[in-house]
Amino acid sequence: MKVLIKKGLFLDPFMKNKKEIDILMIGTRIKRIGKGITDTNAIVVNAKDKIVFPGLIDVHVHFREPGQEHKETIATGMKAAAAGGFTTVVAEPNTNPPIDTPTRLKKVLSIARKEGLVNFFSKACITKGQMGEKLTDIEQLQNAGAAALTDDGHPVPGDKLMYNAFKKAKKHNILLSPHSEESEFYRNNILSKMEKEREKREQRDLFRRKMPHSMTYKAYRSEPGFIERDIEFVRRTGAKYHVSHVSLVESIGHIAKAKMEGLPVTAEVTPHHLFLNEDDEKGIGPNAKVNPPLRSKKDNEALKQAIVEGTIDVIATDHAPHTPQEKALGDDAPYGIIGLETSLGLALTYLVKPGLIDLIHLAHLMSYSPDKIFGLNVGGIEEGKQADFTLVDPEKRWTVDVSNFYSKGRNCPFNGRELQGKAVMTVVGGRIVMKDGKILETMEDFEKTID
């Protein structure tokens, strides 16, 4: 099948400008890019006044399969991604059981291939069972296709263990993306044990004595401290390190310093940490309960400035669906916010529209940079490449309504928010999978939408 996209505004990442282009797709790939392309056998899509983004990429999602399919499945997560303009996602490994072996990784990748709506990659665990006690087989996980390594919501508390993870990650050329946060697991299962053994360990652990004086145990048991520790391990090993969901101004300082040193350190921020704070959580309730928690207005502004200055490389959603029944438990509600169907609109409304960044910068944050950092090789709009891109109407005004979401989750703190800018078409491998907010299961469904 041939599809011809006419008169879209292409964001050229090299010339740093917008230009009107046509894109001819044949099968899964881009055949031609230029102006005035004609093909009488092609289905024509009028993209006038629409922005042609490279396919959006979210490197931090939870699709809950296997083990918690009542919250989300790979199929429903893919639909939510396509509805939000995303052509590619990278899933977290905190499934049940966790993705800590090559067999489990291959199984989840196989399920995703069968669903096939968007490109799907998965991270794998740093430690077995995410227990922070013994490393997984990093070489075998890399060979099986892991996009990165993380214990998701749990930091790896042991210095020697994490240092060894960095050494192995460097050896096998795989990205480490640990979570620097005080999870419930960390507080309840690790922290108390470490408190009891701290003095004895510090006396006998020569490795700790070699650490900078500021990096004591107490200093790095929260987000900025873990980040500082892990950056030190980057200095020692040269391994690639991507910081998940940065939320504090102090964390930004460590990351900025590492970048100035030329270390292979990158970082992401979520829309909820950019555009919501602790005061909002009080009014919204459990649907704004998340870990790391919403911070102060000062942190909001620091994160936005870090995007402007380039300290933050990626916007990622940390899409974490829970059932309405779970989120109705008040103080006992689980942590997590969904974001795939709102992320682009929020960024356009609160970053681009006020002039903090331009559309090309946003394309780097939501496509070019995540593609490069995670080594996915799915980004970019070039002749001969797989046809993955997103058509965006920057003027479209819409109201967030969770009742219309494709995700099973409804835990969106932006419900009812009026936004400007929306994805109106998602193309994955030459196939139009979303048009005007509707998921298209087949090309026949797409053909029915053409006038």
- The CATH number given to whatever domain includes residue 67 is 3.20.20.140
Instruction: Supply the pTM of this predicted model.
Output: 0.92
Residue 301 within any structural domain of the chain: yes
Does 112 fall in a domain? yes
Indicate whether 184 belongs to any domain. Answer: yes
- For the chain of 451 residues, list the mean pLDDT of each consecutive stretch of 10: 93 78 95 94 94 97 97 98 98 97 98 96 97 96 98 89 97 96 59 52 47 39 88 98 97 98 98 97 94 95 98 98 96 95 98 97 96 93 94 97 98 98 96 96 71 58
Euclidean distance between CA atoms 99 and 97, whole angstroms:
7
Q: Pseudo-torsion of CA 416, 422, 428, 434, nearest 10°?
A: 60
Q: Distance between CA atoms of 21 and 23, rounded to whole angstroms?
A: 7
Q: Is residue 332 situated within a structural domain?
A: yes
Tally of CA atoms within 13 A in the half-sphere of 383 that contains its CB: 7
State the residue range of the domain holding 177. Answer: 54-380
Residue 401 domain flag: no
Q: Are strands 43-46 and 2-12 parallel, antiparallel or unpaired?
A: parallel
Q: Is residue 346 part of a domain?
A: yes
In a domain, 41, yes or no: no
What local confidence, expressed as pLDDT, does residue 201 receive? 53
| Domains: count for the chain | 1
**Whose CA is closest to 181, among 243, 122, 97?**
243
User: Do 22 and 374 touch, CB atoms closer than 8 A?
Assistant: no
Position 405 in a domain: no
Predicted pLDDT at 154: 86
Phi, psi of 428 (to 5 degrees): -130, 115
| DSSP H helices in 310-342 | 324-327
Q: Which residue has the tokens 């499934």?
A: 95
Active site residues: 318
